[in-house]
Chains A and B, each alone.
Chain A
Amino acid sequence: MIEQEVRAPAPDTARSSGLTRGLLIGLGVFVALILLRLITGESDITSSGTMGATLALAVPIGMAALGGLWSERSGVVNIGLEGMMTFGTWGAAFGAYFSGSPWLGLLGGVVAGALGGLLHAIATVTFGVDHIVSGVAITILAPGVTRYLSDLLFTDEQGGGATQSPPLPNFPTWSVPGVGKPLGSLEKHHWILVSDLAGLVRGVLTGLSPVTLIAILLVPASFYLLWRTAFGLRLRSCGENPFAAESLGVKVYRMKYAAVVISGALAGLGGVFLAMVASSNYQEGQVNGRGYIGLAAMIFGNWRPGMVAGGAGLFGYADALQLRGGAGAVHAMLLLIGIGLLALAIWRGYKGRVVAAAISAVVGVGVLVWFFLTDALPREIVTYSPHITTLLVLAFAAQRLRMPAADGLRYRRGGGH
Chain B
Amino acid sequence: MIYRVLAKSYTRTIVAALVALVFSLIITSIVLSVSGFNPPSTFQAMFEFGKDPDSIVNTVNRAATYYLSALAVAIGFRMNLFNIGVDGQYRLAAMLAAAAGGAWALPAVLHQVVIILVAVVVGGLWAAIAAFLKVTRGVSEVISTIMLNFIASGLIAFLLNPQRLAVKVAGSNNIGTEPISSSGRMPGISYPGSELKIYSFVLVAMLAGIAFWYMINRTRFGFDLRATGLSQSAAVASGVDAKRMVVVAMVMSGAVAGMVGMPQLLGGSYSYSLDFPTGIGFTGIGIALLGRNSPVGIAFASLLWAFLDQSSQILDFNDIPKEIVAITQAAVLLSVVIVYEVVTRVGQRIDQRHVAAQLGEVPA
Tell me whether A and B are bound partners.
yes
Contact surface of A with B, Cβ cutoff 8 Å: 1-5, 79, 119, 123, 127-130, 132-134, 136-138, 140-141, 143-145, 147-148, 151-152, 162, 288-289, 292, 295-296, 299, 378, 380-381, 383-384, 387-388, 390-391, 394-396, 398
Shortest 6 CB-CB contacts between residues of A and residues of B = A144-B326, A141-B330, A148-B323, A151-B321, A380-B157, A384-B154
Among candidates B133, B324, B338, residue contacting A391 with C-beta atoms closer than 8 Å? B133
Sample 8 A-B pairs with CB under 8 A, ordered by A number: A2-B140, A127-B338, A127-B341, A132-B82, A140-B286, A380-B155, A380-B157, A394-B133
B117 part of interface (Cβ distance < 8 Å): no
Known: A119-B334, A138-B334. 4 other contacts (CB 8 A): A140-B282, A140-B286, A148-B327, A388-B151
Contacts of B147 in A (CB 8 A): 289, 292, 296, 387-388, 390-391
Please give the number of chain B residues whose Cβ is less than 8 angstroms from any Cβ of chain A in the complex: 42
Interchain nearest-CB distance for A61 vs B (Å): 13
Contacts of B31 in A (CB 8 A): 148
Contacts of B82 in A (CB 8 A): 132, 136
Contacts of B331 in A (CB 8 A): 141
Query: Is the pair B143, A140 in contact by a Cβ cutoff of 8 Å?
Result: no
Q: Chain B binding site: helix, strand, loop or mixed by DSSP?
A: helix
Known A-B contacts A133-B337, A138-B334, A387-B147; A1 and B153 likewise in contact (beta carbons under 8 Å): no
Among candidates B134, B142, B323, B333, residue contacting A147 with C-beta atoms closer than 8 Å? B323
Contact surface of B with A, Cβ cutoff 8 Å: 31, 35, 82, 84, 133-134, 137-140, 142-144, 146-148, 150-151, 153-155, 157-158, 282, 285-286, 289, 321, 323-324, 326-327, 329-331, 333-334, 337-338, 341-342, 345
Q: Give Cα distance in the complex from A394 to B337, angstroms.
A: 30
Query: Which partner residue on chain B sits nearest A378 by CB separation?
Result: B158
Known A-B contacts A137-B337, A140-B285; A398 and B138 likewise in contact (beta carbons under 8 Å): yes
Query: Which partner residue on chain B sits nearest A288 by CB separation?
Result: B150
Contacts of A1 in B (CB 8 A): 140, 142
Q: Give Cα distance in the complex from A276 to B342, angstroms.
A: 40
Known A-B contacts A133-B289, A162-B321; A387 and B150 likewise in contact (beta carbons under 8 Å): yes
Interchain nearest-CB distance for B279 vs A (Å): 9
Query: Which partner residue on chain B sits nearest A139 by CB separation?
Result: B282
Interchain nearest-CB distance for B113 vs A (Å): 31
Known A-B contacts A388-B147, A394-B133; A136 and B323 likewise in contact (beta carbons under 8 Å): no
Query: Is the pair B330, A145 in contact by a Cβ cutoff of 8 Å?
Result: yes
Query: Which partner residue on chain B sits nearest A2 by CB separation?
Result: B140
Interchain nearest-CB distance for A384 vs B (Å): 4
Contacts of A289 in B (CB 8 A): 146-147, 150
Among candidates B154, B327, B337, residue contacting A129 with C-beta atoms closer than 8 Å? B337
Query: Is the pair B143, A129 in contact by a Cβ cutoff of 8 Å?
Result: no
Query: Is the pair A152, B321 in contact by a Cβ cutoff of 8 Å?
Result: yes
Among candidates A123, A299, A391, A395, residue contacting B337 with C-beta atoms closer than 8 Å? A123
